[in-house]
């Protein structure tokens, strides 16, 4: 029975996305505000239940004009869809890592995704808190979520790829 609760340590966690721009370079963005909870068995993360919610208005790419465009109705429509949400359906051990499957909702559209969570370990920090760390990776097709804006280039090709890579460093605090 899953009884051990873990909450995200936001000061030691980050969540990024990466997308090809002009098909020649990669642009990185991040969600600056997000929460995540994990409920596990006491001695393993296999079978854990994971939930996540990210504030779309906290999206940053390092360029204010691009950030505003991404938050507009052309992309995330942050006024009407303020969060991106994830709920796991299964967490399976794969060597030292975990395969996390679940449903991701962006802009009101929900699709199943698969992520890899590389387990960094569990330690007790300087304040006596037990913490667990994971490096998260995966990819989605932005078209599956209604993020369809694009533009053709005169030389052929498009401005943005359909594939978006997800990368995260997540640290969780064990709750008493």
pLDDT in tens, 30-85: 999 999 999 999 778 999 999 999 999 999 999 999 999 999 999 999 999 999 99
Q: Between these two residues, 153 and 98, which has the higher pLDDT value?
A: 98
pLDDT value for 23: 80
CA distance 9 to 24: 35
pLDDT value for 159: 75
Question: Dihedral (C-alpha) 78, 83, 89, 93: value to the nearest 10 degrees?
Answer: 100
CA distance 64 to 61: 8
> What's the mean pLDDT in 106-122?
97
Instruction: Give the gyration radius of the chain's Cα atoms.
Output: 17
pLDDT value for 42: 79
Quote the domain boundaries for residue 131. Answer: 4-174
Number of domains observed in the structure of the chain:
1
pLDDT in tens, 140-176: 999 999 888 877 777 777 778 888 999 999 999 999 8
Residue 70 sits at φ, ψ, to 5 deg, of -65, -35
Strands 59-60 and 49-55: unpaired
Q: Report the CATH number at residue 124.
A: 2.40.128.110
């Amino acid at each position: 029975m899953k009884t051990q609760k873990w909450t995200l340590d936001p000061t030691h966690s980050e969540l990024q996305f990466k997308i090809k721009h002009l098909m020649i370079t990669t642009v990185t963005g991040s969600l600056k505000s997000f929460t995540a909870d994990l409920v596990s068995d006491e001695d393993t993360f296999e079978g854990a239940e994971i939930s996540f919610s990210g504030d779309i208005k906290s999206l940053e790419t390092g360029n204010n004009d691009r950030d505003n465009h991404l938050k507009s109705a052309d992309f995330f429509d942050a006024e009407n869809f303020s969060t991106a949400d994830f709920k796991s359906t299964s967490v399976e051990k794969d060597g030292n890592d975990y395969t996390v499957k679940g449903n991701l909702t962006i802009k009101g559209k929900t699709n199943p995704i698969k992520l890899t969570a590389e387990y960094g370990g569990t330690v007790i920090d300087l304040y006596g808190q037990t913490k667990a760390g994971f490096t998260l990776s995966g990819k989605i097709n932005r078209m599956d979520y209604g993020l369809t804006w694009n533009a053709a280039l005169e030389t052929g090709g498009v401005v943005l790829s359909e594939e978006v890579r997800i990368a995260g460093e997540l640290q969780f605090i064990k709750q008493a």
